[in-house]
A = this chain, B = another copy of it.
Amino acid sequence: MLDSYGVVKNHKGLIEGVQKTIEWIKAEGKTFRLLTNDASRSQGQQKESLAALGLPNIELHEIITSGMMAKHFLEQKITDGKIAYLGTENSAEYILQSGLQHIPVREIDLEDLDEISAFVFLDDEGFDWNTDINKTVNILRKKTMPVILANSDKFYPVSRHDVAVATGGIAKLVETMLNRKFIHFGKPDSQMFMYAYEQLTDELGEINKNDILMVGDTLDTDILGGNKFGVKTMLVLSGNTREERAQLLIQSKGIIPDFICKSVID
């Protein structure tokens, strides 16, 4: 199992050498899954994006996103009404492609919330923050409903030095305004690990969890999640966790990977 961002790619493109690693995995008859907390794009869009970067042979079923977990939850638990969302239309279409209608915050009439049955934070793009964040606060003050957050990350890197506020940051602002906790999906929660594990056992038969390796660049999500799920974990230093701070962070957080490598090609 590989985390995507910081392991396979970063803000500049593919991590050097990752093509060879993927080829080697496949040549050795090993199986892998990409587990990503990116909920703004579907499996298909992730596949296209990786192909455009130079990884053409990742298959759909090898990609597992936190958005898929949120989608599954919504399908099971929300059975009527419309699902309101904050994000791009693209992200809404893939997460919300179940039978239910979805409606962006900007099109919602604050005086008529009867039909709205759930709310999803999908992406930090695709809407005007000045108006739509305020509108979101008022929608959720007026009508209580399940609120889903498909990716808890508070920020993401946009260049070597700069970050941007992610959906998780915006949702946190709304949680603070309302003094409420929303329902969060994505690593370190076990769902994605479990989903991948079930897929793998379906494909390959019984697997010992000790024979699975989770590779990630972030202690709090990839490594903690993998440790709690019970698979082996490897921290790579090609993403969020810089080499010079790795030992300090491991010690201060008490989240201990089984292995540490510079990058996935080592």
User: Count of chain A residues with Cβ under 8 Å from any Cβ of B?
Assistant: 52
Contact B134 A165 (CB under 8 A): yes
> Closest CB of chain B to A110's CB: distance in Å?
7
Complex Cα distance A146/B138, Å? 32
Min CB–CB distance A96 → chain B (angstroms)? 17
Residues of B within 8 A of A133 (CB): 129, 165
The answer on a CB contact under 8 Å between A155 and B177 is yes
B-side contacts of A129, CB under 8 Å: 128-130, 133
Cα-based distance from A229 to B195 in the complex (angstroms): 10
Q: Which residues of B contact A165 (CB under 8 A)?
A: 133-134, 137, 173, 177
**A146 surroundings in chain B (CB, below 8 A):** 254-256
A binding-site residues for B, Cβ under 8 Å = 72-73, 76-77, 110, 128-130, 133-134, 137-138, 141-142, 144-147, 154-155, 161-165, 169-170, 172-173, 176-177, 180-183, 185, 189-191, 194, 210, 224, 227-230, 251-256
Assembled-state Cα–Cα distance A181/B179 (Å): 14
Closest-by-CB residue of B relative to A231 is B76
Which partner residue on chain B sits nearest A209 by CB separation? B76
User: Assuming A177-B155, A227-B77, is B254 touching A183 (CB within 8 A)?
Assistant: yes
Residues of B near A210 (CB, < 8 A) are 76
- Is the Cβ of A137 less than 8 Å from the Cβ of B161? no
Q: With A146-B254, A147-B254, A165-B134 in contact, is A177–B190 under 8 Å at CB?
A: no
Q: Who on chain B is nearest to A75 by CB?
A: B230
Tell me how far the C-beta of A247 lies from the nearest C-beta in chain B, rounded to whole angstroms: 10
Smallest CB separation, A188 vs chain B (Å):
9
Instruction: Give the residues in chain B near A137, CB-CB below 8 Å.
Output: 155, 163-165
With CB as the reference atom, state the residue of chain B lying closest to A229: B191
Enumerate the 6 nearest inter-chain pairs by beta-carbon distance, A residue then B residue, closest first.
A129-B129, A190-B190, A144-B251, A146-B254, A173-B173, A129-B130
Q: A130-B129, A183-B224, A189-B189 are in contact. Are A141 and B163 (CB under 8 A)?
A: yes
The chain B residue sitting closest to A142, CB to CB, is B161
Q: A77-B227, A134-B164, A189-B228 are in contact. Are A254 and B182 (CB under 8 A)?
A: yes
Q: Distance (Å) between the CB of A223 and the closest chain B CB?
A: 11
Q: Is the CB of A169 within 8 A of B173?
A: yes
A73 touches B162 (CB 8 A): no
Choose among B77, B144, B163 the residue that contacts A252 (Cβ–Cβ < 8 A). Answer: B144
Decide: A183 and B141 in contact? CB cutoff 8 A: no
